[in-house]
């Protein structure tokens, strides 16, 4: 069988924060090669799969020597000879070999790099671009991008409480056009920031460094930037927020350091609901902490008919948590990050669980990234409908946007831009 795995190697590379990360390289008997680089989060959920880091003083403890060594010493032997086209078989083997519930022994960074490298090798063996290999002859949509304009929270020294101030352009008609509109907004926002005072560079994902007096100041500025860009806020361009509230508290209460300090879960829900009524907001991620499902469900019950409520740290790309969250009405969309769960197969299962519930699905990057563009292919080939990559600057982000432009071109005249169809229930209809 030509698509059998002939060799697996790991190596240490560097990510966009200048921290060590793992790359895996898989060679098949056919000569096909697949490679992939593990991303890394900063605002991580407690229920995520765990990266294996060396600890100690070297590289701030972020070294990956042990993770790379495990690929050579254990993983290679276990999956060599397996068929790369049997992704589920390979991923099951990786989970069994690790033997822990959260991949802590071999490390989710090692496992995710190998899992995605196997996928790339299988697509190369089939002589297909990855997105088309995954689509398996089904018609797929070009995803709607969600793009950061200001970065805050854990990605910007907590200059704002809210982590991501992003835009979405569901009426753009094409991915290419959505990026052009976003560029207008990004530059208009930069001009407004400059007028406010010294522009202090960019946050971890490349969005403007947030020099704001309050979270609402940021929302006001973003709304003004959209209008100043020549596009219409709440029509051509909508706001999307990642509150990343897990970083702000839990069911016992939340701290909005920039605003008025301590809020109860109920007050937090009321604050988020008020923002979603006052600003042209189409999507809100993690408005509550990972285990505060009461607050998150309250937000979804109040505005979920017209606003996408995304679970990130709440769901951690875990199909079982998606099922339970759906039962409890916690949100209406799932963020899908392969390294949160550790393998391609488990991430796809979480996406399938979300889609089966009629939810939206957003394939997402991490704040620590690289030139690896796998997520552009996953978002398209899995027909997720949405793609979140970070800002509109810096090459680890632009590599993904640029890859999407190539994919859109390859789909050709057949390409259907997901637009409002990406959202659950009535959200698209209400906002169209
Ligand atoms: P992270 O942030 O990659 O630092 O976890 C991204 C997000 O919260 O969506
Ligand atoms: Zn998030």
pLDDT band with cut points at 50, 70 and 90 for residue 229: very high
CA dist 247 and 313 (Å) reads: 10
**Catalytic pick among 103, 337, 348, 400:** 337
Looking at the CA of residue 335, tell me the nearest atom of ligand 1.
9
pLDDT value, residue 380: 98
What spacing in Å lies between the alpha carbon of 314 and ligand 2's midpoint? 9
Q: Provide φ and ψ at 168, rounded to 5°.
A: -135, 140
Of 156, 244, 283, 315, best ligand 1 pocket probe by most atoms within 8 Å of the beta carbon: 244
Give the pLDDT confidence of 159-174 residue by residue, as tens digits.
899 999 999 999 999 9
What spacing in Å lies between the alpha carbon of 71 and ligand 1's midpoint? 26
pLDDT value, residue 353: 98
Q: Provide φ and ψ at 409, rounded to 5°.
A: -65, -40
Mean pLDDT, residues 255-274 taken together? 95
pLDDT value, residue 196: 83
Question: Over 90: is that where the pLDDT of 414 sits?
Answer: no
pLDDT value, residue 199: 77
Of 163, 207, 335, best ligand 1 pocket probe by most atoms within 8 Å of the beta carbon: 163
3 state SS of 403: helix
CA 381 to chain centre: 16
State both tokens at 18. 């200048």
pLDDT value, residue 161: 95
What spacing in Å lies between the alpha carbon of 230 and ligand 1's midpoint? 30
Of 15, 19, 41, 166, best ligand 1 pocket probe by most atoms within 8 Å of the beta carbon: 41
Looking at the CA of residue 364, tell me the nearest atom of ligand 1.
9
CA dist 400 and 338 (Å) reads: 15
What spacing in Å lies between the alpha carbon of 153 and ligand 1's midpoint? 10
Question: Over 90: is that where the pLDDT of 261 sits?
Answer: no
Q: Can you list the alpha helix ranges (DSSP code H) found in 279-394? A: 293-303, 319-327, 338-341, 344-356, 374-381
Q: What angle do CA 418, 337, 143 make, to 5 degrees?
A: 10
Pocket of ligand 1 (CB under 6 A): 41-44, 163, 242, 244, 312, 364, 366-367
pLDDT value, residue 197: 79
Question: Over 70: is that where the pLDDT of 1 sits?
Answer: no
Give the pLDDT confidence of 137-158 residue by residue, as tens digits.
999 999 999 999 999 998 888 8
pLDDT value, residue 134: 98
pLDDT value, residue 214: 94
Question: Over 70: is that where the pLDDT of 312 sits?
Answer: yes
pLDDT value, residue 234: 98
What spacing in Å lies between the alpha carbon of 312 and ligand 2's midpoint? 5
Q: Can you list the alpha helix ranges (DSSP code H) found in 126-229? A: 130-135, 175-196, 215-228
Question: What count of other Cβ atoms lies within 10 Å of the Cβ of residue 183?
Answer: 14
Give the pLDDT confidence of 93-108 residue by residue, as tens digits.
999 999 999 999 999 9
What average pLDDT is seen over the chain?
97
Looking at the CA of residue 313, tell me the nearest atom of ligand 1.
8
- Count of CA atoms in the C-beta half-sphere (13 A) of 161: 26
What spacing in Å lies between the alpha carbon of 246 and ligand 2's midpoint? 9
Superfamily of segment(s) 144-431: Enolase-like C-terminal domain (3.20.20.120)
Q: What is the CATH T-level fold of the domain 5-127, as seen in this structure? A: Enolase-like; domain 1 (3.30.390)
**Catalytic pick among 23, 25, 48, 205:** 205
pLDDT value, residue 269: 98
Pick the closest to residue 415 from 140, 130, 137 (CA basis): 140
Residue showing tokens 């949509």? 141
Of 15, 38, 43, best ligand 1 pocket probe by most atoms within 8 Å of the beta carbon: 43
Looking at the CA of residue 41, tell me the nearest atom of ligand 1.
3
CA dist 234 and 241 (Å) reads: 14
Give the pLDDT confidence of 178-207 residue by residue, as tens digits.
999 999 999 999 999 988 877 778 888 899
Among 61-65, 259-263, 391-395, the minimum mean pLDDT is found in 259-263
Give the pLDDT confidence of 366-386 residue by residue, as tens digits.
999 999 999 999 999 999 999
pLDDT band with cut points at 50, 70 and 90 for residue 69: very high
For the chain, the structural domain boundaries read 5-127, 144-431
Question: Over 80: is that where the pLDDT of 42 sits?
Answer: yes
| 337 counts as catalytic | yes
What spacing in Å lies between the alpha carbon of 412 and ligand 1's midpoint? 32
> Is-same-fold flag (5-127; 144-431)?
no
Mean pLDDT, residues 43-57 taken together? 95
Looking at the CA of residue 45, tell me the nearest atom of ligand 1.
5
**Closest protein CA for atom 1 of ligand 1:** 41
Mean pLDDT, residues 385-394 taken together? 97
| 205 counts as catalytic | yes
pLDDT value, residue 210: 86
């Amino acid at each position: 069988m030509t698509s059998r795995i002939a060799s697996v190697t790991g190596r240490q590379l560097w990510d966009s924060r200048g921290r060590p990360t793992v790359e895996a390289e898989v060679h098949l008997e056919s000569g096909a090669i697949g490679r992939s680089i593990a991303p890394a989060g900063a605002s991580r959920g407690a229920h995520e799969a765990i990266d294996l880091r060396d600890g100690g003083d070297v590289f701030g403890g972020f070294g990956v020597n042990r993770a790379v060594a495990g690929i050579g010493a254990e993983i290679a032997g276990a999956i060599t000879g397996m068929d790369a086209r049997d992704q589920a078989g390979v991923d099951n083997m990786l989970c069994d070999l690790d033997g822990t519930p959260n991949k802590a022994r071999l490390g989710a960074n090692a496992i995710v790099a190998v899992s995605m490298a196997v996928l790339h090798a299988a697509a190369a063996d089939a002589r297909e671009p990855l997105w088309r290999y995954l689509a398996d002859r089904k018609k797929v949509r070009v995803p709607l991008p969600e793009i950061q304009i200001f970065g805050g929270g854990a990605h910007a020294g907590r200059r704002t409480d809210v982590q991501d101030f992003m835009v979405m352009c569901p009426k753009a008609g094409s991915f290419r056009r959505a990026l052009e509109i976003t560029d207008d907004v990004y530059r208009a926002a930069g001009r407004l920031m400059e007028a406010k005072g010294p522009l202090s560079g960019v946050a971890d994902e490349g969005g403007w460094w947030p020099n704001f007096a309050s979270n609402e100041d940021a929302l006001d500025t973003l709304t003004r930037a959209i209008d100043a860009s020549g596009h219409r806020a709440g029509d051509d361009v909508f706001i999307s927020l990642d509150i990343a509230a897990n970083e702000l508290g839990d069911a016992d209460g939340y701290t909005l350091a920039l605003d008025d300090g301590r809020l109860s879960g109920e007050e937090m829900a009321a604050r988020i609901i008020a923002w979603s009524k006052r600003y042209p907001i189409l999507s809100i991620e993690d408005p509550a902490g990972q285990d505060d499902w009461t607050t998150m469900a309250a937000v979804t019950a109040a505005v979920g008919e017209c606003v996408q409520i995304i679970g990130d740290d709440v769901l951690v790309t875990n199909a079982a948590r998606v099922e339970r969250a759906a039962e409890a009405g916690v949100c209406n969309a799932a963020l899908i990050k392969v390294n949160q769960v550790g393998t391609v197969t488990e991430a796809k299962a979480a996406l399938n669980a979300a889609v089966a519930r009629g939810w939206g699905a957003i394939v997402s990057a991490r704040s620590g990234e690289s030139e690896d563009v796998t997520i552009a292919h996953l978002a398209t080939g899995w027909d997720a409908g949405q793609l979140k990559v970070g800002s509109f600057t810096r090459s680890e982000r632009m590599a993904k946007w640029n890859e999407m432009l190539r994919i859109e071109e390859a789909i050709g005249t057949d390409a259907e831009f997901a637009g409002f169809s990406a959202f659950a229930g009535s959200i698209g209809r209400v906002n169209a």
